[in-house]
Amino acid sequence: MWIRILIVLLAVLNLGVAAWWISRPPAAATPVPAAIAMPAGVAPLQLLDEDVVVDALPADDVPATADAATGPDSQTPPAKAPDVVEVAAETPVAAEAAPVIERRCYVVGPYDNEAAARAALGRLAADAPGSWVRGTEASASAWMVLVPPAPDLATAQATARRIIDAGFTDYFVISSGEQANAISLGRYQNREGALRRQKTMADAGFETRLQPAGKVVPAQWWLDVAATALDTAQLQSRSGGAPVRSRPCTALR
């Protein structure tokens, strides 16, 4: 019952408001205020969104420009432009490249013995510090183990009897030639076998030596030289006249 009464009341109120809105009088235009007259000599206020024509001002009221202020009758000197100082850019100086010293390598020799090779190395040491001695051992197609030659045949035969008493039977007394009165203890095809025989005789108290036989290549010595200030002629002169051959430095050890 009360809900229906409220609904009817709200409907009536809405109809009344709508009727008032339709029947209200139009709003009056807002009067624009008249321009205020400015006193003579006073420039009007210019807003950012307004365009004011300067010609509207009296000729005497136009403010002087910067050019007029610097005219011939003006006491204020014109502003002087700041001096421009040009700074020359520093040109980078290229660093001088270090000179490349060419290293040359040689093989000097062969020498018959190590002492001669080392003497030549000493003469080259100042100008060829990157040098060294290299040698090879003697080689042969066969090796003999010998008791060195005795002063006479009788002494050699006495040594042979001692060898028999020590239990060795493979010996031979040389009676002629360069090795006369020496005692041969065997001939071997390789150096290792001869060395083993030599050690066995040394353990029994006999002094022996190895003697190359057959095709013999003697021991030789060379200088491997790496130098920067010596040429082939200088090397040959200072190394005792030994042969000198150029060689790639990569081939040296």
What are 31-57's pLDDT values in tens digits? 555 555 666 666 666 655 555 444 444
Contact status, residue 236 vs residue 223, Cβ threshold 8 Å: no
Per-residue pLDDT, 161 = 94
* Per-domain boundaries in the chain: 104-137+219-251, 140-214
| Of 212, 160, 207, residue with least CA distance to 188 | 212
Residues pairing with 140 in the sheet: 216
Per-residue pLDDT, 70 = 46
Same topology for domains 104-137+219-251 and 140-214, yes or no? yes
Per-residue pLDDT, 162 = 94
110 cis-preceded (ω within 30 degrees of 0): yes
Contact status, residue 238 vs residue 119, Cβ threshold 8 Å: no
Strands, sheet with 172-173, edge to edge from the N-terminal-most edge strand: 172-173, 183-188, 139-147, 209-217
Residues pairing with 120 in the sheet: none
Class of domain 140-214: alpha beta
Per-residue pLDDT, 147 = 94
Domain covering 104-137+219-251 in this structure, CATH number:
3.30.70
Residues pairing with 35 in the sheet: none
Per-residue pLDDT, 36 = 59
Per-residue pLDDT, 57 = 47
- pLDDT-flagged residues of the chain (< 70): 25-101, 251-253
